[in-house]
Copies of this chain bind each other. A is one copy, B any other.
Amino acid sequence: MTESDGRRIRGQRRRRQLIDAALTVLARDGLAGLTHRAVATEAGVPLASATYHFTGIDDLALSAVLEATAAFVGSIEDRSGGSGIPAYAAALARELSEHRGRVIAGYELYLLAARRPALREAATAWLRAGTDTLLADVDPLRRRAFLAAVDSVCLKALLTDPVPDTAEVEALLVHALR
């Protein structure tokens, strides 16, 4: 914080670097492949660096998964910025085609949360990804149907390529709100 590159700051940067690498590994190999060494190699830093910046493997895994879901939520919110269903559908379709790994990571968090109550809040937050403002004026039943449709679209997209396009996604979401 004084002048030029401080050690402190470079430390923060490396931590960031490690998390980014962790996201890459997570998207590619899933939670099962997320090891200290894999992350360190991906980031191009020595192993000890990965063990220094994260207390344990749990910390690393959790940071990565939470970061991945946060990135997903952020991306959806940014791109759909309160402009209604069409924008939301477009954002979702884009996320599905360009960041498949992130979507999978979301479900990995979900499965994790099924066994660890502490993660439930994070998991449900992910599930609602940016729909709070979008569905502000919608009654609970329809809201639930909408979320179910979103889920259905995501799950289906994970098993089929090509991924559904914006129009298809939009049609399904609109139908859910009918």
Contacts and interface: CB of A to CB of B under 8 A. Distances in A.
A172 B144 contact: yes
A145 B148 CA distance: 8
Given A30-B115, A32-B32, A152 B159 contact: no
Contacts of A148: 145, 148-149, 151-152, 176
Dominant secondary structure of chain A at its interface with chain B: helix
Contacts of A145: 145, 148-149, 175-176
A127 interface: yes
A32 B30 CA distance: 12
Tell me the number of copies of this protein: 2
Interface in A32-75: 32
Interface in A64-88: none
Nearest to A103: B114
B155 A151 contact: yes
A135 interface: no
Contacts of A110: 107, 155, 158-159
B158 A152 contact: no
A70 B141 CA distance: 31
Contact of A123 (B30, B111, B159, B175): B159
Given A114-B158, A145-B148, 18 more contacts: A30-B111, A32-B32, A104-B114, A107-B110, A107-B111, A108-B111, A110-B155, A113-B158, A120-B159, A123-B159, A124-B159, A127-B155, A144-B152, A145-B145, A148-B151, A148-B176, A151-B155, A152-B152
| Shortest Cβ-Cβ A-B pairs, 6 listed | A148-B152, A148-B148, A114-B158, A120-B159, A148-B149, A104-B114
